[in-house]
Amino acid sequence: MYGSERYKDSMKGLIQVPCGKVDPGETSYQTVCREIREETGLHTAPVYLTTDKSFNCDLYTTDIGERVPQWMEPSKNGPWTFYT
């Protein structure tokens, strides 16, 4: 799993995976595809995993194979790190 350390706001220092809010007119699937592309530079085909009712969000998983995420938002968070 790849994660990135947050630099600012109330989540500073925490590790995050690609995520974001659903834009008007977007499905959760479209959102996850867009957020992964914006935050890592990767085009993926995520698979729905479950809904986390306590955070009101859908969770997806994807296999990026041997590809490595790019550091697209250095002003927000650190480079992507592989966690096992």
User: Would you state the pLDDT for residue 15?
Assistant: 93
Which helix (DSSP H) or strand (DSSP E) does residue 28 occupy? Answer: helix 28-40
CB 81 within 8 A of CB 68: no
| pLDDT, tens digit (0-9, with 9 covering 90-100), for 42-82 | 999 999 999 999 999 999 999 999 999 999 999 889 999 99
Q: How far apart are CA 65 and CA 81, in angstroms?
A: 15
pTM above 0.85, yes or no: yes
Residue 84: pLDDT above 90?
Answer: no
Confidence of residue 11 (pLDDT cuts 50, 70, 90): confident
User: Would you state the pLDDT for residue 35?
Assistant: 96
With tokens 């994807």, the residue in question is: 62
Residue 9: pLDDT above 80?
Answer: no
In the chain, where the domains are located = 2-82
pLDDT higher for 70 or 7?
Answer: 70
Homologous superfamily, domain 2-82: Nucleoside Triphosphate Pyrophosphohydrolase (3.90.79.10)
Which pair of tokens denotes residue 78?
Answer: 């650190």
Buried/exposed 50-74: b ≥16 CB within 10 Å, e otherwise: eeeeeeebbebeeeeeeeebeebee
Q: What is the DSSP letter of 9?
A: G
